[in-house]
Structure 1
Amino acid sequence: MTDAPPKMSARDVSVFYGDKQAVKNVSIQIDMDKVTAFIGPSGCGKSTFLRTFNRMNDTVASARVEGLVTLDGEDIYSPAMDVVQLRARVGMVFQKPNPFPKSIFENVAYGPRIHGLAASKPDLEGIVESALNRAGLWEEVKDRLQDSGTALSGGQQQRLCIARAIAVDPEVILMDEPASALDPIATAKIEELIGELRGRYAIVIVTHNMQQAARVSQRTAFFHLGELVEYGETDAMFTAPRMERTKDYITGRYG
């Protein structure tokens, strides 16, 4: 059996903020059917690198990205790439839940509406219900879709943000420490959700929690001081890391 081509790949990617280099020549492949975790101490470049996959660094005036990042083999930094379209295909969930100050329904309907994905109101309602279902939230909110999204609990807000990301039918979902602001029960729900979404989307999660990486991912990339130190199967990395720096981090010698 031939391996499927990677969904996304980065080749020799570096990111600079002004004169400071935050990410140094990172190459990695993101597969469709696996959850990939980025781990490493705070400030090691993992979130900055994650943001190169949907050009979120474009929003930072001093940021500059070098190298090649592709989605289905297409250069996402090429002038021909429509960034709005790219961000529909590569969705993002942030560390702090950030629902729009609108109703639960409107939070999820927003993307499909601006991208013209629904031909009619019943269509749109179907998309919203499906996204909330996939995000494990429908049963909790179906009777209060007109309530404000900001009135939900933190864990529900984060699942609403995941529903919002998947409503436009993305191919890749980037998650930047999606559970770090949540309590253990809400965190467990987000982890369970990641397991359910695996295979339907390519998922990349940044986490500072090694146990979480071990639980939810099949591949792990360890970053340190802006460099990709090691990348491989999650089980192998946590049981028999190849690099001394990885071993030191995993055994708690620093970080």
Structure 2
Amino acid sequence: MAEAPEETVVHDELKFANDSKMTARDVSVYYGAKKAVDRVSIDVDSHFVTAFIGPSGCGKSTFLRCFNRMNDTIDIARVEGDIQLDGENIYDTRMDVVQLRARVGMVFQKPNPFPKSIYENIAYGPRIHGIADSKSDMDRIVETSLTRAGLWNEVKDRLDESGTALSGGQQQRLCIARAIAVDPEVILMDEPCSALDPIATAKVEELIDELRGRYAIVIVTHNMQQAARVSQRTAFFHLGNLVEYGPTEEIFTNPRADRTRDYITGRFG
């Protein structure tokens, strides 16, 4: 019989929050027979950036990918439990996964612009979802998305150039603009700065702060300083379990679980 995980420590301030955009209850993820995530329950607030932290291989990225069903693309992956977006079960057989991924966008660890022009990188999503009714509508969406991503002034005179010709930091902001273009409700970011230099990282962090409140944002990061800078909620994962979830300042200054304290103070990780 499988050993039950230790109960997650949820700080009181979050236990009674009622503005959750997404909720997960008893979510487990398997790769074949291997359990990568073990009965995780968490709420994602509409107005805050939530950071998932923890050592490599602890399940935080696997869990993140559950929120827009990216694990569906892995043949041996299986997800159990309940995840809801605005009260709707995203794993219901009637859920349109394409529409779900428009509502819950994803920005990956390595920038992955399409081998198309900067303009077409942004226009692709709105075009396939039928969001723009005219060329002028599409132009507006492209400009608005690039502006929100802090990239418009850098690329407005070269929209016909390939997105892959941009610097790494610009490519990542282009990918964020691409996610924004379909007007999502949630943005998932899987270590979005791990391949970037410090200057580009600072720009992406500034962008995350500017986007907060417009979208529910969840970020996976190995960089605890980054989590402390950009998030207002932090969830600490270890060995596939959610150990502790609370306000970021509390997690970093007054963690309640011994494993969280040991990780924050560098005793392991």
| Interval containing the TM-score (normalised by the shorter chain) | over 0.9
Deviation at 1:242, TM superposition (A): 0.3
User: Per-residue CA shift, 1:30-74, capped at 9, x if unaligned?
Assistant: 010000000000000000000000000000000000000000000
Distance in 1 between the 2:154 and 2:68 partners? Answer: 31
- Following superposition, the deviation at residue 3 of structure 1 comes to 5.1
- Identify the residue that residue 183 of structure 1 maps to in structure 2: 197
Q: What is the rounded CA distance, in whole Å, between the counterparts of 1:249 and 1:3 in structure 2?
A: 26
Tell me how far apart the structure 1 counterparts of residues 94 and 74 of structure 2 sit (CA, whole Å).
21
Which residue of structure 1 lines up, in the alignment, with residue 251 of structure 2? 237
- Residue 5 (structure 1) shift: 3.1
- What's the TM-score once normalised by structure 2's chain length? 0.94
Deviations for 1:97-123, whole angstroms, at most 9, x for unmatched residues? 000000000000000000000000010
Corresponding position of 1:247:
261
- How far apart, in 2, do the equivalents of 1:91 and 1:159 lie? 14
Count of residues in correspondence between the two structures: 254
- Correspondence for 1:136: 150
Q: Could you say which residue in structure 1 is the equivalent of 2:5?
A: none
In the other structure, the counterpart of 1:55 is 69
Matched, 1:83 2:64: no
1:4 Cα deviation from its structure 2 partner: 4.1
1:154-193 residue pairs with structure 2 within 5 A?
A: 154-193=168-207
Percent of pairs with identical residues? 79
SS in 2 for 1:16: strand
Distance 1:199 1:6 in 2: 13
- RMSD in angstroms over aligned alpha carbons? 0.8
Q: Which residue of 1 aligns with 2:7?
A: none
Give unmatched runs, 5+ long, in structure 2: 1-15
Give the alignment of 1:65-144 within 5 angstroms.
65-144=79-158
Provide the TM-score with structure 1 as the length reference: 0.99
Structure 1: 5+ residue runs without aligned partners? none
Deviates more, 1:31-40 or 1:3-12: 3-12
Match of 2:37 among 2, 18, 23: 23
Residue 7 of structure 1: SS of its match in structure 2? Answer: strand
List 4+ stretches of structure 1 deviating above 2 A: 2-5
CA distance in 1, matches of 2:159, 2:267: 48
